[in-house]
């Protein structure tokens, strides 16, 4: 039996807004949009995708799972994502950390890493 990662599912108060933010961050497309679900991905056949589902409450605690992004140019990518509506956050990382912690418009933390070549780099 085989299994593969299909979607990362994010709770959202503003489905169109949050899904479009992540579409711009990842240079993905909105693949499906309904009142109760928005799916984005590189294309219809590239897995995983991200699925946004509605919730009434605001995020209140630190994420138990977060996304790590590995760009070619960390500084340029951080500036680009900040311009899209992210903000810097402190989750206890040291000043010497090789990653930058940001939060999306709804407060979900994610990291922008220095460039990586492998999953264990």
Domains plus CATH for the chain? 1-55 (3.30.720.120), 62-121 (3.10.180.10)
> What contacts 24+ positions apart, CB below 8 Å, involve 86-91?
86/21, 86/25, 91/62
Q: What is the pLDDT of residue 69?
A: 96
- Token pair recorded at residue 58: 């605001």
Q: What is the pLDDT of residue 61?
A: 84
Q: What is the pLDDT of residue 92?
A: 87
Question: What's the pTM value of the predicted model, to 2 decimals?
Answer: 0.91
Q: Cβ(81)–Cβ(25) under 8 Å?
A: yes
Q: What is the pLDDT of residue 60?
A: 87
Strands (E), 6-97: 7-12, 29-34, 37-41, 49-54, 67-69, 87-88
Q: Which residues of the chain register pLDDT less than 50?
A: none
Q: Cβ(35)–Cβ(53) under 8 Å?
A: no
> What is the helix (H) or strand (E) element at residue 25, kind and residue range?
helix 15-26
User: What is the distance between the alpha carbons of residues 49 and 6, in angstroms, rounded to a whole number?
Assistant: 6
């Amino acid at each position: 039996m085989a299994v593969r990662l299909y979607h990362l599912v994010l709770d959202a108060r503003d489905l169109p807004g949050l899904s479009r933010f992540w579409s711009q961050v990842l240079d993905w497309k909105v693949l499906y949009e309904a009142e109760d679900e928005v799916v984005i991905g590189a294309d219809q056949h590239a897995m995983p995708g991200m699925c946004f589902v509605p919730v009434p409450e605001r995020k209140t605690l630190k994420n138990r799972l977060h996304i790590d992004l590995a760009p070619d140019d960390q500084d340029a990518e951080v500036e680009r994502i900040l311009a899209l509506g992210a903000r810097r956050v402190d989750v206890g990382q040291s000043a010497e950390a090789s990653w930058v912690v940001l939060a999306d418009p709804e407060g979900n933390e994610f990291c922008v890493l220095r460039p990586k070549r492998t999953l264990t780099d």
